[in-house]
Amino acid sequence: MNKESAGVWIGPRPTAGQIAAIVFVGTVGILIPGVQPIVLGALLTAGHISLSQLGNTASAELLSMGLAAAVAGALLPPRRLRAICIAASLTLALGNYLTPLAMGAAITGLRILTGVAGGLLIWITACMIARSAAPQRWAGIYLSVQTLAQFILAALMSWIDADRAVHVDFGILAAAGLGSAAVSLALPTAFQVLPKAAGTGSFVMPPARGLAALLSTFLVLASIVSIWVYYDPIARQAGLSSHISDTAVYVSLACQVLGGTAATLSAGRLKWFPVFVASAAVDFVMVALLGKHLSALLFLFDAAVFGFIWLFILPFLVAMIIEADPSRRSAVLFGGVSLLGASLGPSMVALIISPDDTRGALWFGAACLFLSLAIAAALRYLRPAISPS
């Protein structure tokens, strides 16, 4: 029996203080996705960027964040964690501080820089989750904490006066980066290197089943976020007000916290495949409802369920990836691949929808979800001839 199947940590178990620090820096690294509409909207209102630059900047930041987390997971040895975290945190703080002082394309460049820095912080947390005795539970805890932090930050920023928002919003994010740099001193110095086949180099490609599980994860996030970012035009097309679509954001974030908490509490009690199938079935119903002219109450209900499923399913995707690749090399890439799906999905949807018809987002999201479910079913029922030891 190997370490993965024995339910023990790979390498020394971090202390409680180290775990708290690891989760904290990873949460700071991924704050921006939850508040992007607010902070980029403030830049737009202040005339720092145009409407077209807003979309490009949002996609560029998330894409650079996902690429940085994925490339670090594939190539970067888990050593000198404190130095890496301090450098990434200070870069994140500096980029956020400079953003409201810049204009146009310079802002996009700065957001790419902060995206890379955030991706490195996410990688540190992903390293711990992949080596933990209960990756599914720790993934649920991390997802719940990050979503709660995003919810609190979004609520705080909503109270800031519009004429001061652009500087105060990014000032808060810069302060979070400085806090992460300080907390970096509590990190462990290194994580144990994950097992790999003898005679291989520093980079080892995950096995085919691990790559398939990562593709399924990519498609799940592409499906969810491709629909989520268009909730406002979907609401308008249904004849609902912007107040309802704004309320849907807060309702969804709150239910995302509940979903992540429920996944954490059910870790080890539920199997990943039945959860995947049930969650996909519910999401198909929610997507179908969005294609109708919903009442305000039903639209908010849809956002609540959609948000709950979003965070509930993600920790079970970690379990799917580890079952497909017990070496956990693929699991380290989970955060980066998730962000890539979340950033590339909406970009592809933008090519097939028009301002007057958002149904393309629903069809695209449903197609991605169906493909991800098909891959998951193949992983579940098409077993390798010889199971990895």
Q: What are phi and psi of 268, to 5 degrees?
A: 85, -15
Q: Is residue 7 part of a domain?
A: no
Give the pLDDT score at 24: 97
Please check whether residues 265 and 377 belong to one and the same domain: yes
Q: Is residue 57 part of a domain?
A: yes
Please check whether residues 221 and 284 belong to one and the same domain: yes
Q: Is residue 5 part of a domain?
A: no
| Boundaries of domain holding 105 | 15-186
Please check whether residues 179 and 212 belong to one and the same domain: no
Please check whether residues 116 and 180 belong to one and the same domain: yes
Q: What are phi and psi of 100, to 5 degrees?
A: -70, -5
Rounded mean pLDDT, 197-226: 81
Please check whether residues 151 and 225 belong to one and the same domain: no
Helix (H, G, I), strand (E, B) or coil at 306: helix
Rounded mean pLDDT, 350-359: 75
Confidence of residue 205 (pLDDT cuts 50, 70, 90): confident
Please check whether residues 179 and 32 belong to one and the same domain: yes
Please check whether residues 225 and 367 belong to one and the same domain: yes
Give the pLDDT score at 177: 97
Confidence of residue 183 (pLDDT cuts 50, 70, 90): very high
- Number of separate domains in the chain: 2
Please check whether residues 143 and 249 belong to one and the same domain: no
Q: Is residue 2 part of a domain?
A: no
**Contacting residues for 174 by C-beta, under 8 A, at least 6 apart:** 92, 93, 94, 96, 97
Supply 379's token pair.
């992983």
Q: Is residue 99 part of a domain?
A: yes
Under 8 Å between Cβ of 92 and 121 = yes
**Contacting residues for 359 by C-beta, under 8 A, at least 6 apart:** 291, 353
Q: Which of 36-40, 148-152, 289-293, 320-324 has the lowest mean pLDDT?
A: 36-40
> What pTM was computed for the model?
0.82
Q: Is residue 371 part of a domain?
A: yes
Under 8 Å between Cβ of 36 and 198 = no
Q: Is residue 44 part of a domain?
A: yes
Give the pLDDT score at 199: 45
Please check whether residues 213 and 311 belong to one and the same domain: yes
Q: Is residue 196 part of a domain?
A: no
Please check whether residues 178 and 284 belong to one and the same domain: no
pLDDT at 226 over 60: yes
pLDDT tens sequence across 57-80: 888 898 999 899 989 988 888 999
Rounded mean pLDDT, 27-40: 86
Please check whether residues 337 and 238 belong to one and the same domain: yes
The distance between the two most distant Cα atoms of the chain, rounded to a whole number of Å, is 64
pLDDT at 135 over 60: yes
pLDDT at 6 over 60: no
Please check whether residues 139 and 216 belong to one and the same domain: no
CATH of the domain at 172: 1.20.1250.20
CA distance 52 to 56: 7
